Amino acid sequence: MKYKAILFDLDGTLLDTLEDLAEAVNEALRRRGFPLHTTEEYRKMVGHGVRNLVTVALPEAFRTDEAFIDSCLADFKAYYTEHIDVHTRPYPGIPELLSRLHGSGARIAVASNKFQEGTEQLIAEFFPGIPFVAILGNRPGYPLKPDPEIVGEVLRKADASPAEAILVGDSSTDMLTARNGGIRSIAVTWGYRPMTATLEYPAVSSVEELATLLLG
């Protein structure tokens, strides 16, 4: 076992959720007669929590009205919860990788900025046989990534030291989260933002490459 604790980002790393997220935000916009965005435009907006996603999708004049944002967010969540799996799928090879990692003795966790209920709903549907040591999303009173608190919480639940842990994600936010938490990281290139390798972290373009780095 190369790593005792392996933390995975969710959207853009384990699951391709972009189209369902885009349709849910567009539904909230549509109800208010606002211009809609393309899925590709949403690619640049995701990754910082759904409140931020809804906010930046709104016309600029409405982005500081917290009560209005609350209303839009409620419509988004209601629609998204009902349509969360219409287009969403695991990236090819991910379910098999998680099974291999679990079989190797690694303690697997999800560390996401997606709202907690949505995170749990997707994990239960798409990875029902994987006993995650922690499934952590955006929860009231907890900071979003790249704050390292989520890393510390996973390490406690996994009974692992920073030296025994690694985070896998698809964005600079994930890489910064790992650095802030004092753990290693790997960037995947199949997610929502172009990622390239640096001296600080490697980047992989296939699940097979990721498996090699994680399993040795």
pLDDT digits (tens, 9 = 90+) for 54-72: 999 999 999 999 999 999 9
Shared fold status for 5-16+89-215 and 18-82: no
Per DSSP, 164 falls in state G
Average pLDDT over residues 87-100: 98
Superfamily of domain 5-16+89-215: HAD superfamily/HAD-like (3.40.50.1000)
Percentage of the residues of the chain whose pLDDT score is greater than 90? 96
Q: Please give the Cα distance from 214 to 2 (Å, whole number).
A: 6
Give bridge partners of residue 16 from the DSSP assignment.
89
- Give the pLDDT confidence score for residue 51 in this predicted structure: 95
- Give the pLDDT confidence score for residue 128 in this predicted structure: 96
Point out the catalytic residue in the list 9, 11, 75, 170: 9
Mean predicted lDDT score pLDDT of the chain: 96
Q: Where are the domains of the chain?
A: 5-16+89-215, 18-82
Tokens representing residue 178 in the block: 């790992």
The CATH architecture assigned to 18-82 reads Orthogonal Bundle (1.10)
Known catalytic residue at 9: yes
Tokens representing residue 181 in the block: 């938490």
Neighbours of 55 (CB within 10 A): 20
Phi then psi for residue 147, to 5 deg, are -60, 135
Tokens representing residue 197 in the block: 């390798």
Q: Please give the Cα distance from 160 to 152 (Å, whole number).
A: 10
- Is 45 strand, coil or helix? coil
pLDDT at 1 over 80: no
Q: Please give the Cα distance from 21 to 69 (Å, whole number).
A: 16
Q: Please give the Cα distance from 151 to 155 (Å, whole number).
A: 6
Tokens representing residue 16 in the block: 């391709």
